[in-house]
């Protein structure tokens, strides 16, 4: 039977949670799979330009890992997740490929095993876990894999994303981040991570502004994104709970009360104009469902 895999976008770090925290957002990648269609697994990626085809790469990676061959299938992908913008486009493609391949092979692996394989491709599991499970997540690397915990979000929350039209490459953004922190900065970030988990799970939105501050990666990435501090300040002044760089950038994320999302979006857009930044601003909801595999009949979901 034909099926579709639908995977959300995600924003990693949320300020202090470098490579360990992320939240799923309401933009999506959809992969439609028709088994036995007389073709080898091959994705036609409409509106997705990300170098190699990560969907079929992940499908083949899974098949090789379990020692099976992928059956014939037609695989077509469509995504409205901005690519190379820090919104988890590659993580969505990898999770989509893993779930599609797993379904085609009779589901030999569970979600935890799929996440582990996906992390081997991506290098870290924060965006992957958010894309797979939805909501806000902690993905903590251990010697035996990853401990993944979903963080309850006990408040009404929307996300305002400001997406520059320029691209941002993860390799460049990682190159400017130091390998070591001094003790004061390490204490600062570890305490803000703990505060962020508490703020979300307790529903104490007033703590998010402090909890989303960072001294590990954002101060150094500001050299790449000169507009970052001004626009985040504008978001907070307009009523955002907190703001951060989305993943490795260049997108900026503000977490807001849904009732003031339009006001915050307008303030961020005005600040971007002052910074002469060509961009678009959008209000997104928090995706709490995560990746979905949906059977299709007659070509429709």
Q: How far is it, in rounded angstroms, from Cα 126 to Cα 32?
A: 25
**What is the third-level CATH fold of 3-151+287-295?**
Ribosomal Protein S5; domain 2 (3.30.230)
Q: Does this chain's domain 3-151+287-295 share its CATH topology with 158-285?
A: no
> Where exactly are the structural domains of the chain?
3-151+287-295, 158-285
Instruction: Give me the pLDDT at residue 43, please.
Output: 44
The pLDDT confidence band at residue 299, using thresholds 50, 70 and 90, is: very low
Q: What is the pLDDT of residues 48-92, one digit of tens each?
A: 444 458 999 999 999 999 999 999 999 999 999 999 999 999 999
> How many other CB atoms are found less than 10 A from the CB of residue 38?
8
Question: What is the rounded distance in angstroms from the CA atom of residue 118 to the CA atom of residue 175?
Answer: 23
User: Is pLDDT at 170 greater than 90 in this prediction?
Assistant: no
Whole-structure pTM value: 0.92
CA gyration radius for the chain?
A: 19
Instruction: Give CA separation, 195 vs 46, 130, 139, 159, 232, in Å.
Output: 40, 19, 17, 19, 19
Q: Per-residue pLDDT tens for 195-247? A: 999 999 999 999 999 999 999 999 999 999 999 999 999 999 999 999 999 99
Any idea which fold 158-285 has? Alpha-Beta Plaits (3.30.70)
């Amino acid at each position: 039977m034909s099926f579709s895999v639908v995977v959300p976008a995600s924003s990693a770090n949320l300020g202090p949670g470098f490579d360990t925290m992320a939240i799923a957002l309401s933009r999506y990648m959809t992969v439609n799979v028709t088994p036995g269609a007389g073709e080898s697994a091959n994705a036609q990626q409409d509106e997705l330009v990300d170098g190699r085809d990560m969907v079929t790469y992940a499908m083949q990676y899974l098949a090789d890992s379990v020692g099976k061959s992928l059956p014939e299938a037609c695989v077509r992908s469509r995504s409205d997740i901005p690519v190379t913008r820090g919104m988890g486009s590659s993580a969505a493609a990898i999770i989509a490929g893993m779930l599609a391949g797993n379904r085609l092979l009779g589901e030999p692996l569970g979600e935890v095993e799929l996440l582990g394989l996906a992390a081997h491709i991506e290098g870290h599991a924060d965006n992957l876990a958010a894309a797979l499970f939805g909501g806000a997540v902690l993905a903590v690397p251990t010697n035996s894999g990853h401990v993944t915990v979903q963080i309850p979000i006990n408040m009404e929350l929307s996300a305002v994303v400001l997406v520059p039209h320029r691209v941002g490459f993860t390799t460049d953004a990682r190159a400017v981040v130091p390998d070591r922190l001094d003790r004061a900065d390490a204490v600062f970030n570890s305490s803000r991570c703990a505060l962020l988990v508490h703020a979300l799970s307790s529903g104490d939105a007033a703590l998010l502004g402090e909890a989303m501050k960072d001294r590990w990666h954002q101060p150094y990435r500001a050299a790449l994104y000169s507009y970052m501090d001004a626009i985040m300040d504008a978001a907070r002044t307009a009523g955002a709970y907190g703001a951060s760089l989305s993943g490795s950038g260049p997108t900026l994320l503000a977490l807001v009360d849904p009732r003031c999302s339009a006001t915050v979006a307008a303030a961020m857009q005005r600040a971007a104009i002052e910074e002469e930044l060509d961009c678009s601003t959008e209000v997104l909801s928090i995706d709490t469902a995560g990746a979905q595999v949906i059977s299709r009949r007659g070509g429709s979901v």
